[in-house]
């Protein structure tokens, strides 16, 4: 019971943690922004999720995906979140498969065209 209370507390406190990433840090190759931790709250591990999104954007082999997912788990665990890192790892292993074609699936950036920079007229 104490474990459940502690995990709930970490989740609640973590969800209110301000993210220090700038817009430039979150920029993906097509100019769009990473949403940090898709379908999961952002804690102090937002930078881990952004790096993971950048890996997932391009896609690649199954081995590359597994390595990316492991890096995500290790990054979050390195910030002191052992249980959250395990939950995130399971989530990305199950929900990140490319054939689901979700906005965060492996290789989600394939075929995307770069966003045009806003046109500012010269006077």
Residue ranges of the domains in the chain?
A: 45-99
Phi and psi, residue 62, nearest 5°: -60, -40
Q: Give the predicted TM-score (pTM) of the model.
A: 0.72
Q: Distances from the Cα of 7 to the Cαs of 13, 56, 67, 98, in angstroms? A: 10, 28, 26, 30
pLDDT tens digits, 99-119 = 888 888 898 888 777 765 555
Q: What is the pLDDT of residues 47-104, one digit of tens each?
A: 999 999 999 998 999 999 999 999 999 999 999 999 999 999 999 999 888 888 888 8
Per the CB < 8 A criterion, the answer to whether 52 and 58 are in contact is no
Provide CB contacts within 8 A for 54, sequence distance 6+.
28, 29, 34
| Dist CA 11 CA 33 (whole Å) | 24
Using the CB atoms, write b or e for 22-42: b if 16+ within 10 Å: eeeebebeeeeebbbbbebeb
How many CB atoms are closer than 10 A to CB 101?
9
């Amino acid at each position: 019971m104490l474990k459940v209370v502690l995990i709930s507390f970490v989740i609640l406190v973590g969800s209110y943690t301000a993210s220090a990433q700038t817009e430039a840090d979150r920029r993906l190759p097509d100019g769009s922004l990473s949403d940090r931790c898709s379908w999961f709250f952002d804690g102090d591990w937002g930078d881990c999720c952004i790096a993971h999104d950048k890996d997932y954007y391009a896609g690649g082999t199954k081995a590359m995906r597994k390595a990316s997912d492991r890096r995500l788990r290790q990054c979050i665990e390195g910030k002191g979140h052992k249980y959250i890192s395990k939950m995130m790892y399971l989530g990305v292993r199950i929900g990140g498969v490319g054939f689901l074609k979700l906005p965060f699936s492996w290789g989600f950036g394939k075929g995307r065209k770069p966003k045009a920079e806003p046109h500012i007229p010269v006077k």
